[in-house]
C-alpha cells in the first residue's frame, strides 16, 4: 500500500514538472509580450495543473476552425464592400501625426479615412435612447444593431417598441449581441417579442468547448453600434441599458457614457464592418449594401478602426502609440478600466517628460477588484513622471476617449487595458477633424471639473497593505 502511495506521489510530481515545462515551452513559442509570457509562466508554476487548464482556456486567441474558414472565404468580399471613391486628402490641414496614423490603420484594417461626415456627441442615456428611437422611426430599409450588453427593461423598451414599428413598415432588423454580455436578454420578454415578428437576433462569440466552435469564454464582442439605412450610425461606449437599473447594487453609481451619432460616407464603413462580422458569426450571406455611399453631411475626416483577436496583433495599441508619440502639447485620456501595460505606460511617461501635458481620468469606483488594484499599481510611476491623474466621483465613468493636441482623437469601445487592446472585438473611430475633436475635448473637460486630482504626496501615504496588494495584482495584470 505504501509503495502504491509513493508511486502516485511520484507520478503527480513528475506530471507537474512535465506539464509546467511543456506548457511553458508552448507559451514561449507563442511570442507573446514579455510581461504576458512571464505572467503565464508564474500561473503555471504557482497553480499546479490548474494553471495549465487556465492557459488552454484563456491563454491563446483561438476563435475556432469554422470561424477561421468563414473569415478566409469572406475576406475578399469584405475588402471590396467599401468601394468609396475617395478624393485625395490634403494632410497639411491636419495634425502632423495624422497621415502616418491613417496609413498604419489602413494597412491593418484595409479601411481608409473618409471625409464629408458630421459627428454629434450625445452625453446622457435618455438622450441617446431618444435619438436612437427617432432614427429607427425614420428607417425605411434596415436597422443593424450590435451591443455587448442589452439589458431588458426600463427605458430600453422604447427601442423595442420602435423596432416593432419598423418591422411593421417592412424594415429589416438584424441584431447581434454578445452571448455572455447579453445573456440576460436571450429568453427575455423583449427577445420573444422581437423574434416573434421576424427580427433576426444572433449570438456573437457563442461559447463552445469543441475545436470547430469558439472555445474561449473571454473573447467577447465588446462593440456598440447601430446603423440605420446607411443614413446614420451610432457608436461609442453606451450599452443598451437603463443606467437607473443597470448594476444598481454594484456600489459604483450610475454608468456615464457617450455615444457618437455619425452622418456621411463613414456610415457605409460602419455598415460594412457589421455585415462582415454578421456573415462570419452566422455563416449566412447578406444582400449587398446600397450601391453608393451616403452624401457628404459635413466636413469631418474619420477612419473606422475595428480591432479584435482576428486582426493584426496590437493593432489598436500600435495606433494609440503612434498618436501619443506624435503629441506636441497634450494627451487627454478618459477610460473606466486603466491597465495600460508596459508599452502604453512608457509612451505616456515619455510624453510627460518631454513637456506634453498628459492627463488621465478614471472613475473613483469600478466594478472589478482586480482592475482597481491593477490600475492603482501604475499610478506611482506615472505620477512621478508628471502625468496628471484624476478620479471621477459622480458614477462609473464608462466613456473611452483619447484626445491628442485637441486636433486628433480616438473614440469608441476600447478601454486602456490589455483585454480591450488584445482580446475583445472592439470598435474605434479615429477623428482627424479638429473642430469635431474639440467637441469631444469639451466633454472630457467637463469630466475633469467633476474629478479629484490624485496628488503624489498623498498617494505615497497609502498603506503598505494596499501597495502590497497592488504589486501582487500587477504581476498578473497582463492577464486581466
Integer Cα distance of 272 and 251 in angstroms: 39
**Choice among 242, 398, 433, 474 that is catalytic:** 398
Question: Is 405 labeled as catalytic in the residue annotation?
Answer: yes
Give the number of other Cβ atoms within 10 Å of residue 453's Cβ. Answer: 12
Catalytic member of 95, 144, 203, 224 = 224
Answer yes or no: 224 catalytic. yes
Contact 285, 225 (CB under 8 A): no
Residue in 135, 405, 417, 433 annotated catalytic? 405
Cell 467577447, residue located:
220
Residues 6+ apart with CB under 8 A from 83: none
Q: Which of 95, 144, 222, 349 is catalytic?
A: 222
> Which of the following is catalytic: 135, 178, 229, 417?
229
- Catalytic, 222? Answer yes
Distances (CA, A) of 45 to 19, 30, 54, 133, 460: 10, 18, 12, 53, 32
Reply yes or no on whether 400 is catalytic. Answer: yes
Cα-based distances in Å from 142 to 24, 126, 136, 170, 292: 49, 23, 9, 9, 16
Which residues are CB-neighbours of 242 under 8 A, at least 6 positions away? 125, 151, 153, 154, 155, 156
Place of cell 473642430: 435
**Identified catalytic residue from 373, 400, 417, 433:** 400
Element (H, E) at 352: helix 341-353
144 noted as active-site residue: no
| Interatomic CA distance for residues 265 and 111, integer angstroms | 12
For residue 398, indicate whether it is catalytic: yes
The residues annotated with a catalytic role in the active site are 222, 224, 229, 398, 400, 405
Amino acid at each position: 500500500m505504501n509503495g502504491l502511495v509513493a508511486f502516485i506521489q511520484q507520478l503527480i510530481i513528475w506530471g507537474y514538472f512535465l506539464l509546467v515545462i511543456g506548457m511553458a515551452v508552448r507559451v514561449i513559442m507563442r511570442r507573446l509580450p514579455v510581461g504576458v509570457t512571464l505572467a503565464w509562466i508564474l500561473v503555471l508554476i504557482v497553480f499546479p495543473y490548474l494553471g495549465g487548464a487556465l492557459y488552454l482556456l484563456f491563454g491563446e486567441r483561438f476563435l475556432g476552425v469554422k470561424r477561421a474558414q468563414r473569415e478566409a472565404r469572406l475576406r475578399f468580399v469584405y475588402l471590396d464592400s467599401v468601394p468609396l471613391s475617395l478624393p485625395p486628402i490634403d494632410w497639411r490641414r491636419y495634425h502632423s501625426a495624422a497621415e502616418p496614423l491613417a496609413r498604419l490603420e489602413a494597412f491593418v484594417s484595409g479601411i481608409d479615412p473618409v471625409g464629408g461626415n458630421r459627428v454629434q456627441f450625445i452625453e446622457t442615456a435618455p438622450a441617446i435612447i431618444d435619438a436612437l428611437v427617432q432614427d429607427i422611426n425614420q428607417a425605411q430599409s434596415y436597422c443593424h444593431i450590435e451591443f455587448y450588453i442589452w439589458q431588458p427593461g426600463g427605458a430600453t423598451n422604447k427601442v423595442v417598441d420602435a423596432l416593432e414599428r419598423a418591422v411593421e413598415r417592412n424594415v429589416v432588423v438584424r441584431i447581434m449581441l454578445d452571448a455572455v454580455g447579453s445573456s440576460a436578454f436571450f429568453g427575455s420578454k423583449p427577445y420573444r417579442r422581437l423574434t416573434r415578428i421576424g427580427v433576426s437576433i444572433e449570438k456573437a462569440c457563442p461559447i463552445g468547448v469543441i475545436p470547430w466552435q469558439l472555445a474561449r469564454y473571454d473573447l467577447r464582442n465588446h462593440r456598440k453600434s447601430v446603423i440605420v439605412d446607411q443614413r446614420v450610425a451610432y457608436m461609442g461606449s453606451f450599452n443598451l441599458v437603463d443606467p437607473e437599473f443597470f448594476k444598481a447594487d454594484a456600489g459604483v453609481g450610475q454608468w456615464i457614457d457617450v455615444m457618437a451619432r455619425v452622418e456621411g460616407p463613414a456610415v457605409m464603413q460602419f455598415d460594412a464592418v457589421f455585415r462582415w462580422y454578421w456573415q462570419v458569426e452566422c455563416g449566412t450571406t447578406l444582400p449587398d449594401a446600397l450601391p453608393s455611399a451616403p452624401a457628404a453631411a459635413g466636413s469631418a475626416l474619420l477612419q473606422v478602426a475595428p480591432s479584435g483577436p482576428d486582426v493584426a496583433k496590437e493593432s489598436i495599441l500600435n495606433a494609440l502609440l503612434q498618436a501619443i508619440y506624435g503629441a506636441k502639447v497634450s494627451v487627454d485620456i478618459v477610460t473606466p478600466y486603466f491597465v495600460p501595460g508596459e508599452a502604453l505606460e512608457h509612451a505616456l511617461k515619455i510624453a510627460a517628460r518631454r513637456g506634453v501635458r498628459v492627463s488621465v481620468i478614471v472613475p473613483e469606483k469600478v466594478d472589478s477588484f482586480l482592475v482597481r488594484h491593477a490600475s492603482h499599481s501604475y499610478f506611482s510611476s506615472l505620477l512621478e513622471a508628471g502625468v496628471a491623474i484624476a478620479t471621477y466621483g459622480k458614477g462609473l465613468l464608462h466613456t473611452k476617449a483619447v484626445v491628442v493636441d485637441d486636433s486628433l482623437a480616438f473614440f469608441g469601445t476600447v478601454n486602456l487595458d490589455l483585454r480591450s487592446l488584445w482580446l475583445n472585438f472592439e470598435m474605434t473611430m479615429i477623428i482627424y477633424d479638429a473642430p469635431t475633436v474639440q467637441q469631444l475635448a469639451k466633454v472630457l473637460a467637463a469630466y475633469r471639473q467633476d474629478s479629484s486630482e490624485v496628488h503624489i504626496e498623498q498617494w505615497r501615504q497609502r498603506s503598505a497593505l494596499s501597495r502590497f496588494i497592488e504589486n501582487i495584482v500587477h504581476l498578473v495584470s497582463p492577464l486581466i
